[in-house]
């Protein structure tokens, strides 16, 4: 169990600091339905991550009687790692140059009119449909499967821990909002501005590090 958690933890941290979901929560916290939308987003985010990573871990961990993960799971780690490296290169090339304002996604302008149901739906889209995050979540599930082998209880616990850690990033703005009172608006606006500006660079570095780790883990498990 400890090995499964340890192998997937770096990927969970990568999901944790993905900028756009955090920006989405910040925008919800300065909207008309601040608490309802933010908590709906946080709930949808956690549940979506937990379900998908557990499903991937279960499928990839369909191990033989020896209890070890099949060789194809290691090859899958290598392929996923290569995919992360490609996304890292794409993010780096797409980063805004000095003095250039980044292009914000169009969905950000609509958040002010969101209902809790739409907030939950956006959490699912950003968490497990967005290609970059989906690749990270699948990588986390595969890492759990490779480390846990056929131990379903280890897979389940590691999947829950993964989802909890990966949700810290979107939970942090909610904590700031609840604990800082009137100062929350200024603090959250500064956080939002910085994360939008640095989104491409942050994701490029994350994907590079995690991609290299996935490839290394896959090769060592063969």
Q: Give residue 164's pLDDT.
A: 96
The residues spanned by each domain of the chain are: 2-221
Please indicate, yes or no, whether the overall pTM of this predicted structure exceeds 0.75: yes
Q: Give residue 66's pLDDT.
A: 47
Q: For residue 176, give the H/E element and its range.
A: helix 168-180
How many C-beta atoms surround the C-beta of residue 131 within 10 A? 9
The conformational region for residue 198 under phi > 0 = left, psi -120 to 50 = alpha, else beta, is alpha
State how far the Cα of 201 lies from the Cα of 85, in Å rounded to an integer. Answer: 13
Question: Of 177, 200, 168, 189, whose CA–CA distance to 19 is shortest?
Answer: 200
Q: Give residue 73's pLDDT.
A: 67
Q: Give residue 111's pLDDT.
A: 86
Q: Give residue 49's pLDDT.
A: 96
In order along its 222 residues, the chain shows pLDDT tens digits of 678 888 888 889 989 988 889 989 988 888 778 889 999 999 999 999 999 999 998 887 765 444 555 666 678 778 888 988 898 898 888 777 766 766 667 778 788 888 999 999 999 999 998 888 888 898 889 888 888 877 888 899 999 999 999 999 999 999 988 888 767 777 787 877 777 777 788 888 888 888 888 788 778 766
Q: How many residues does the chain have?
A: 222
- CA distances to 53, 136, 166 from 62, in Å: 14, 20, 24
């Amino acid at each position: 169990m400890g090995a499964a958690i340890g192998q997937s933890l770096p990927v969970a941290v990568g999901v944790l600091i993905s900028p756009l979901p955090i920006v989405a929560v910040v925008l919800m916290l300065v909207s008309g339905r601040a608490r309802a939308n933010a908590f709906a987003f946080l709930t949808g985010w956690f549940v979506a991550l937990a379900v998908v990573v557990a499903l991937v871990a279960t499928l990839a961990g369909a191990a033989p009687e020896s209890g070890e993960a099949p060789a194809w799971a290691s090859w899958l780690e290598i392929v996923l790692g290569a995919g992360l490296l490609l996304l890292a290169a794409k993010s780096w090339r797409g980063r805004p140059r000095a003095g250039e304002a980044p292009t914000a996604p169009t969905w950000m302008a609509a958040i002010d009119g969101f209902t809790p149901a739409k907030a939950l739906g956006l959490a699912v889209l950003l968490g497990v449909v967005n290609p970059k995050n989906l690749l990270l979540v699948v990588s986390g599930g595969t890492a759990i499967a490779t480390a846990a082998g056929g131990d379903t209880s280890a897979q389940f616990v590691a999947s829950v821990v993964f989802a909890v850690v990966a949700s810290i990033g979107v939970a942090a703005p909610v904590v700031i909002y609840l604990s800082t009172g009137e100062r929350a608006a200024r603090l959250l606006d500064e956080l939002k501005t910085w994360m939008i500006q640095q989104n491409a660079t942050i994701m490029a570095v994350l994907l590079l590090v995690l991609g290299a780790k996935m490839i290394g883990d896959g090769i060592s498990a063969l």
